[in-house]
Amino acid sequence: MRRMLGLLWLIALPVWADDAPSGCGRLCGSWVLDASRSEPAEAAIDAALDNYQDPAPPRPHNPRMEDYGLPADSASASAQSSRPERPARPVRTELRTQLLEQLTPPASLVVSANDDEVVLHPSAGPERHAFPGEPHTRVDAQGTATIHTKWKHQALVIDEHYGPRHDQTDTLVVLPDGTLQITREVERPGVKLLTLRSVYRRG
């Protein structure tokens, strides 16, 4: 019985080891976008925005209270409280621009590793740092993201959460033909879930 259990453990061991490659695994290297095999971002974005409703305009700014003879301190406090509220969601044109920037894949990408850290170097945009199994945060133009990264077999999954219904998930995996597929899922308030696949070849 003990020998049988030991044999089963040896059979299962490669499966466990396959779940967490060292470094960046097969993802390591330089990659060039294969546009002919990648999905265009514009069509997916326009379809997702088909029923998008622009937010209500912000409330107008109140007149300065000092114009009514109030002390300067009261005027300053009133000015702070009477500033127009920022809409919870961007207008359609602004959101479309944001989504195009978020979903358009870079022309090339370099994936490298530094100990347990995986680094993505796109040809356009900032570097991205992922720490499988170690949550961390990042502040960017969209706000503060809480990032969780994990290996799912040989695929690297990076989940970035900014707030309610504001998420981005990237899944990077090397396909059997040796190409790199990146699937990006984007969720934003008022928009249907966007899924876009990009394919890269080594270059």
User: Is 80 exceeded by the pLDDT of residue 11?
Assistant: no
State pLDDT tens for residues 46-55: 999 988 888 8
Interval 181-192: pLDDT, tens: 999 999 998 898
Task: Determine the structural domain holding residue 168 and report its residue range.
Answer: 27-52+90-202
Q: With bands split at pLDDT 50, 70 and 90, how would you rate the model's confidence at 68?
A: low
**pLDDT over 90, % of the chain:** 60
Residue 84, domain member (yes or no): no
Instruction: Kindly report the CATH number assigned to the domain that includes residue 176.
Output: 2.40.128.20
Q: Is residue 111 part of a domain?
A: yes
Segment 58-79 shows an average pLDDT of: 54
Query: Is 187 a member of any domain?
Result: yes
Asked if residue 147 is part of any domain, the answer here is yes
Which of 140 and 146 is assigned the larger pLDDT?
146
Q: What is the pLDDT of residue 19?
A: 61
Q: How many CB atoms lie within 10 A of CB 19?
A: 11
Select from 104, 97, 113, 108 the least CA-distant residue to 49: 97
In this predicted structure, which of 24-28, 113-117, 118-122 has the lowest mean pLDDT?
A: 113-117
In a domain, 166, yes or no: yes
CA distance 151 to 17: 11
pTM: predicted TM-score of the whole model, two decimal places: 0.75
**Cα(17)–Cα(121) distance, integer angstroms:** 26
Count: domains in the chain = 1
Instruction: Quote the pLDDT of residue 164.
Output: 85
